[in-house]
Structure 1
Amino acid sequence: MTSNPAPPAHAVRPLAADEEAVVRSLPLLIYALPRAIDGAMTQEQNMSATEYLALMHLSEAPDRRLRMGDLSSACEMSLSGTTRIVHRLEKDGYIRRVRCDHDGRSYHAALTESGFARLEQAWPSNLAAVRRHFLDHLTDIDLKTFAAALRKVAT
């Protein structure tokens, strides 16, 4: 295994103070924001943020159903983690698993009417938490440019 040689010292430019502040703040955001939203959702709705996301993604999908792997990708979770979430939501009657028509080995997660109603009930709490813990702190930032930059970094 070969490693890439380090760039020459003259090619490495130190971070400016504002660049370093952003770089150091990012791990804090990645850790703290999901926990804050999850805490608010759990306290106010007795529903985790991940459960909310699963219901949300299903509500936006054609026929309100997704293959388990696609739901896993949409929620940015492992397939086993998604299976656990779907199982919990299925026990509550919010999701049902349906065998895939094209592939008898695969399943879809399908949002039930009860699940859609639960999503609508939880939506104001999620929105308030997202605003309180994130968007309200970005009042002087061009959000369109910020969103484009985040997408660029993510891809």
Structure 2
Amino acid sequence: MGLVLAYGCLLALGFTIYWCFHYTRIGDQLTDPGRRPSKASVTRSLWIGLATNIAGMICAMVVAMWKVGALLFTMLSVPPGAATIYNPSEGAAILSRSGPIIVPMDMITLQAAVNAMAAELVGILVSLFLLYQITQSLSNREKRVTDLGG
């Protein structure tokens, strides 16, 4: 299950990278009055990006919590006082008779999940900022119309 969620997180992250590039295309269209997309189209596009970022963030958080739980269980399964930290000779294998050990790949997996969460958080913040800007510009425009008596 963890591997499926990890791949889901990577797919969501890849899609959000593409979707952020899509935001730049929308920005180019907004500057040209002849190609300007509708408000509904831009808002829908921002909501798609926001939903994808949130889904990716949830997947990354579940993977990270799963990995932290597994590492905690591994550490708690070692009898008290049995854990030692030492530097083996280069190329040597570490064998543990007391149970599984924590290997560097465990930490790399955890770091990858945290990095994915950070990337998804940036995508969420960008989408929310753009949605805020659209709603502010629309409310200011409506206020000007009502002030003019329209």
Q: TM-score, normalised by structure 1?
A: 0.27
> Which has more helix, going by share of residues?
2
> Which has more strand, going by share of residues?
1
Say which structure, 1 or 2, has more relative contact order (CA 8 Å, 6+ apart): 2
Larger Rg: 2
Q: TM-score, normalised by structure 2?
A: 0.28
